[in-house]
Amino acid sequence: MIKILNNLSVFILPFMIAFILIFALFKKAPVYENFIDGAKEGFSIATRIIPYLVAIMVCTAMFRESGAIDIIEKILSPVLNYFKVPSETTLIMLTRSLSGSATLGVLGDIINQSGVNSYAVKLAAVITGSSETTFYVASVYFGSIGIKKFRHALLAGILADVVGIVAAVWVCSIFFL
Amino acid sequence: MNYIFAFLILFSLICAVYTGKLDTVMTSALASAGRAVELAIALIGVMAFWLGIVNIAKKSGLTNVFSKIIKKPLLLLFPDLKNNNEALSNITLNISANALGLMNAATPFGIKAMESMQRKNPEKEKATNSMCTFLAINTAGFQLVPAMVIAILASNNMENPQIIIIPTLIVTSIAFLSAIFFVKILEGFFK
């Protein structure tokens, strides 16, 4: 099963590119010129999202380094202990929505501390795999078109992340405990 | 966003005073400002390549063919995109690429979808309902197989990393549905 899925993801990109090219040739569209026109925008989009990325990465870095996460971790851990959540995983729940690289770092720490076959690693892996870095996605997508007023988008994303974490704790306790 | 931004910074500064880490906080703040630029620069190449491919698909009419097939079900989620086929097909391509774990390919489709929604947006600095719905769906990160996490576990010699696939799929589906639920509930409260 996993072999098939892995092979599928290896083949799907080349297949997609080939299909797009063949379809365009069949329709007699100028593929090279259209490629260049589209690729031109890569630079401007990347520069447009810079202020958004700076804003979000600076405030998440400050949040991480200030010990704010440790303080929240301390407040939360009695509650989480009650639900049989290993304390090693509290940190990853807090970093998941904020920073992708920090989350992978924390996952690595949990693997080293608790051993790769532990329950904590399984829970952390499910949390990491089932969600996206909400703040990063918001900066890139809204940044690329210059939206400054996010309205309810971020709040909905964060609430969904919280539901996801609760679901992860619940589902993992059924599967792995 | 104004409150979240101010809260994150002010709360961090207060905590930093309490924990005595003010200098590390400031250094890392400035360092990550630099990293944000590096990250954006690093994105240029991949982004340019995929935007090129996406443009071939668009100009040949492939995206239009695609949008006709999936228009009806998607309109339930994005009712104000009735006359925006381009946005609908890019949204579909973005969600399918994400589901397959092709983050690099998904982002340009997502940006194209946002651009076509922005073209019909009367207030250019404020997100429309459809933009918020689309963003919330993306932040939920629906994925069929968490390939990257499995690769990390496998490289650390986990016996059977694939055991996380089914639980992750259940959790990501719950998160995906609740993102749609929350974004639709909240949309009336944020004008």
Query: Do A16 and A72 belong to one domain?
Result: no
Query: Do A84 and A156 belong to one domain?
Result: yes
Q: What is the structure's pLDDT at A3? A: 62
Sequence letter at residue A143: G
Under an 8 A CB cutoff, do B56 and A31 touch? Answer: yes
- Establish if B3 touches chain A: CB-CB under 8 angstroms: no
Sequence letter at residue A105: G
Residues of A in contact with B158 (CB under 8 A): 116-117, 121
Domain annotation covers residue B77? yes
Domain annotation covers residue B180? yes
Question: Closest to B149 (Cβ–Cβ): which among A42, A128, A134?
Answer: A128
Query: Do A30 and A62 belong to one domain?
Result: no
DSSP state of B101: T
Residues of A in contact with B110 (CB under 8 A): 141
Q: In chain B, what's the furthest Cα-to-Cα distance?
A: 60
Domain annotation covers residue B169? yes
Under an 8 A CB cutoff, do B172 and A172 touch? Answer: no
C-alpha distance from residue B80 to each of B38, B128, B131, B158, B177 (Å): 37, 9, 10, 47, 20
- Boundaries of domain holding B88: 2-14+23-186
Q: B72: distance to nearest CA of chain A, Å?
A: 23
Of the spans B55-69, B80-94, B122-136, which averages the highest pLDDT? B122-136
Domain annotation covers residue B171? yes
Handedness of CA A19, A24, A30, A33 (dihedral sign): negative
Q: A41: distance to nearest CA of chain B, Å?
A: 7
Number of domain units in chain A: 2
Average pLDDT over residues B155-182: 91
Q: What is the structure's pLDDT at B138? A: 92
State the Rg of chain A over Cα.
21
Number of domain units in chain B: 1
Question: Closest to B132 (Cβ–Cβ): which among A107, A121, A153?
Answer: A153
- Boundaries of domain holding A92: 43-176
Q: B157: distance to nearest CA of chain A, Å?
A: 7
Interface-testing mutation among B164, B176, B183, with chain A (most A C-beta atoms within 10 A): B164
Under an 8 A CB cutoff, do A66 and B21 touch? Answer: yes
Domain annotation covers residue B191? no
Under an 8 A CB cutoff, do B28 and A64 touch? Answer: yes
DSSP assignment of chain A, as one string? -HHHHHHHHHHHHHHHHHHHHHHHHHTT--HHHHHHHHHTHHHHHHHHTHHHHHHHHHHHHHHHHTTHHHHHHHHHHHHHHHTT--GGGHHHHHHTTT-HHHHHHHHHHHHHHH-TTSHHHHHHHHHHHT---HHHHHHHHHHHHT--B-TTHHHHHHHHHHHHHHHHHHHHHHHH-
Q: What is the structure's pLDDT at A56? A: 86
Split at pLDDT 50, 70, 90, the class of B158 is confident
Question: Closest to A164 (Cβ–Cβ): which among B45, B124, B175?
Answer: B175
Q: Find the helix packing angle between A134-145 and B129-140, rounded to 10°.
A: 140
Residues of A in contact with B159 (CB under 8 A): 117
State the Rg of chain B over Cα.
20
Half-sphere exposure of A89 (CA within 13 A, CB side): 23
Q: What is the structure's pLDDT at A158? A: 93
Phi-psi group of B141: left, alpha or beta (phi > 0 → left; psi -120 to 50 → alpha; rest → beta):
left
| Mean pLDDT computed over every residue of chain B | 88
Question: Closest to B56 (Cβ–Cβ): which among A20, A117, A164?
Answer: A20
Q: In B, residues 89-118, which contact A (CB 8 Å cutoff)?
A: 100-102, 105, 107, 110-111, 114-115, 117-118
Higher pLDDT, B101 or B57: B57
- Establish if A11 touches chain B: CB-CB under 8 angstroms: no
Task: Return d(Cα B121, Cα B14) in angstroms, integer.
Answer: 39
Q: Which residues of B122-140 are buried (b: 16+ CB within 10 A; e: fewer)?
A: eeeeebbbbbbbbbbbbbb
C-alpha distance from residue B95 to each of A73, B65, B105, B132 (Å): 33, 17, 10, 15
pLDDT in tens, chain A (177 residues): 556 655 665 677 788 889 999 999 999 999 999 999 999 988 888 888 899 889 888 988 898 888 888 888 888 888 888 888 998 898 899 889 888 888 988 999 999 989 999 999 999 999 999 988 999 899 999 999 999 999 999 999 999 999 999 999 999 999 988
pLDDT digits (tens, 9 = 90+) for B95-148: 888 887 777 788 889 999 999 999 999 999 999 999 999 999 999 888 888 878
Phi-psi group of B101: left, alpha or beta (phi > 0 → left; psi -120 to 50 → alpha; rest → beta):
left
Query: Do A126 and A149 belong to one domain?
Result: yes
Closest-CA residue in chain A for B31? Answer: A58
Q: What is the structure's pLDDT at A9? A: 59
Q: Are B83 and B102 in contact (CB under 8 A)?
A: no
Task: Return d(Cα B117, Cα A69) in angstroms, integer.
Answer: 36
At residue A149, φ and ψ (nearest 5 deg) are -95, 105
- Establish if B166 touches chain A: CB-CB under 8 angstroms: yes
Percent of chain B exceeding pLDDT 90 equals: 36
Q: What is the structure's pLDDT at B180? A: 94
